[in-house]
Structure 1
Amino acid sequence: MNIIKNLKTLHAEIKFLKKINKKIGLIPTMGNLHDGHIKLILLAKKYSDIVIVSIFINPMQFNNLLDLEKYPRSFDQDCMILKNNKVDILFFPTINEIYPSGIENQTFITVPKLSNIVEGKARPGHFQGVTTVIAKLFNVIQPNFSFFGEKDYQQLLIIKKLVKELNYMIKIISLPTIRSKNGLALSSRNNNLNSQEIKTAPYLYLIIKKTAKQVIKEDSDIIINIINSSRTLLFKKGFSIDIFNIYDYQTLDVLFKKKKKMIILASVWLGQTRLIDNKKIFID
């Protein structure tokens, strides 16, 4: 595996790969890799001649400095995982490499509406940080494909819109959320949970699934009572709720009546750890 830390070297490598007509697949990450990332790597190998994984803990997408400091870092372990899964290139830049003029002076990219609702409303500026760094990676690496997990569903929608509206010739391919046996969505932030919180955390998805079943079975189109009941259950289990609602599958507008394609989006705190999850609800 080739580990590249600066843009000049990366430019040269990409230029060579393009010259010999290699199909490039990019998996952007913030490190602390888990089975979900490995599944993305395996998926990328099906589409790409060359698989590139980036590891960059992007300070622009953190609106809480403590959250940034606490974000788990495990570079040596990550390298072992990438080598074992035969990743071709690891791009591991410094902050100065990505933001040479400093974050406060960085030109940024914002996807309107989708970046300012739901998770974007709870974390102002978060998605601006995501889209800015993703656009920079796309510009430098020029991948044919880029791979993302569906756990961060709003992020996935935003990146698809970014690609479409900035005319990137990149195919975005998503992977359904990878879960542990107890149903908890895999996330680097799970490492911050203590032993009691690890036992409690799976209830988030259990309650999400229960909510989805109730929405499908409910004769009435009105869904607010189901949502309120689910929020109460989460509270009783010890979760503090930022977001728990049913949204339009594409626009992420809050729904008060059932539609054919919906999605439950949840962002909750368990102790000092913020967990996100979702579930699609498709009604024939």
Structure 2
Amino acid sequence: MKTVNDISELRAQVKAWRQQGLTIAFVPTMGNLHAGHISLVDEAHKHADKIVASIFVNPMQFGVNEDIDNYPRTMADDQAKLTAAGTDLLFTPTPEMIYPNGLDKQSFVEVPNVSDGYCGESRPGHFRGVSTIVCKLFNLVQPDVACFGLKDYQQVQVIQTMVEDLSMPITIIPVPTSREASGLALSSRNGYLTAEQKAIAPALQHNLRWLAEQITTKYTQQHDIDFITLAAQATKAIDKAGLTTDYLHVCHAQTLQPATMADTRLVILAAAHCGKARLIDNLQVKLS
């Protein structure tokens, strides 16, 4: 695997592959990689000839109360994992390369509607930072496809909407969430959990599954579904388990608007605090 941190070198390699008629898949990350990230690389191999990954801790998507300086950086270990997974090129730019004029003078990309609410409400400005850096990386790498994990479901919808709205010739490939045996979604944030917290953290996913079962059962039995009351019951159970729920909502799977009885493709979006870690998770529900 070749590692570059120079934009001109990145573009030269991409141009050379294009001249050979090769296709390119892209996996953007912020590093501190785990098996979930590697599953994105594995999926990328199914769709393209060459795999480009990036590691960039993006300051634009961190809020004023979020400590970017303490975000774990494990470059050597990340490089070893990406090499073992068959990545062809790793791009590791610095903030000065990506934002040469500083954040306050940087043009930005904002995706309305799907960026609102949920993590967008809890972390103001977060999705502006995400859409801006992803757009910029897309312009640099110019991939045919890009792989994103569905653990960050709202993020995937934001990026998919941006690609469609701006007519980018890129196929977005959502990749299922990787989980521990307990059901806990793999996340770099899990490193903040103590052993005791690790034991109670799976309550988030367990209660999403309970909520999905309740919705499916009521739909099958042709009963009215009170999404708000059911979500409140799941929230109460999550908090009782020792977490602190940030939000939990049942939504239309594409628009992310509150679910109605007419919707058959739903997603349950949730976030909860467990010690220092803010955990996010989701569960799609298809009614038929």
What SS does the corresponding residue of 1:152 show, helix, strand or coil? helix
Secondary structure in 2 aligned to 1:213?
helix
Pairing 1:207-226 to 2, within 5 Å after superposition: 207-218=207-218, 219-226=223-230
Return the match for 2:237 from 233, 247, 261. 233
Report the AA paired with residue 123 of structure 2: R
Question: Aligned partners of 1:119, 1:44: CA distance in 2, in Å?
Answer: 27
Identity %: 38
Query: Does 2:106 correspond to 1:106?
Result: yes
Deviation, 1:12, is 1.4
- Look up the match of 1:126: 126
> Offset at 1:83?
1.2
Q: Is 1:261–2:279 an aligned residue pair?
A: no
Structure 2 spans left out of the alignment, 5+ residues: none
How far apart in 1 are the matches of 2:204 and 2:262? 22
Cα distance in structure 1, aligned partners of 2:48 and 2:233: 46
Q: For residue 273 of structure 1, what is the aligned residue in structure 2?
A: 277
Is the contact between residue 72 and residue 189 of structure 1 (CA under 8 Å) also seen in structure 2?
Answer: no
Task: Supply the AA of the counterpart residue of 1:222.
Answer: D
State the TM-score, normalizing by the size of structure 2: 0.95
**Matched residues in 2 for 1:254 and 1:260: separation?**
12
User: CA 1:177–1:253 in 2, change beyond 3 Å: closer, same or farther?
Assistant: same
Question: What is the Cα-based RMSD across aligned positions, in Å?
Answer: 1.3
CA-CA distance at 1:221 after TM superposition: 2.2
Residues 65 and 99 of structure 1: CA distance in aligned 2, closer, same or farther (over 3 Å): farther
Residue 65 (structure 1) shift: 4.7
What does residue range 48-63 of structure 1 map to in structure 2 within 5 Å?
A: 48-63=48-63
Matched, 1:249 2:253: yes
Three-state SS of the structure 2 residue aligned to 1:277 is strand
Q: Paired residue for 2:6?
A: 6
Alpha-carbon displacement from aligned partner over 1:202-246 (angstroms, at most 9, x marks no partner) = 111001101110111232222222111111111111111111011
Query: For the residues of structure 2 that align with 1:256 and 1:25, how far apart are their CA atoms?
Result: 36
AA matched with 2:174:
S
Uncovered stretches (5+) of structure 1, i.e. residues with no partner? none
Alpha-carbon separation, structure 1, partners of 2:115 and 2:66: 22
Once residues 223 and 233 of structure 1 are traced to their aligned partners in structure 2, the CA distance between those partners, rounded to angstroms, is 16
**What stretches of structure 1 move > 2 A for 4+ residues in a row?**
64-67, 218-221, 255-259
1:42 match = 42
Secondary structure, aligned partner of 1:129 = helix
Tell me how far 1:22 sits from its aligned partner: 1.2
SS of the aligned residue for 1:47 comes to coil
Partner Cα distance (2:260, 2:201) in 1? 27
Q: Which segment is superposed worse, 149-158 or 5-14? A: 5-14
Q: How many residues align?
A: 284
Structure 1 residue matching 2:182: 3-state secondary structure: coil
State the TM-score, normalizing by the size of structure 1: 0.97
Aligned 8 A contact 1:116 1:124 in 2: no
Corresponding residue number in structure 1 for 2:93: 93
Distance of 2:21 and 2:216 partners within structure 1: 48
* Residues 1:67 and 2:67 are matched in the alignment: yes
Paired with 1:261 and 1:140, the residues of 2 have a C-alpha distance of: 34
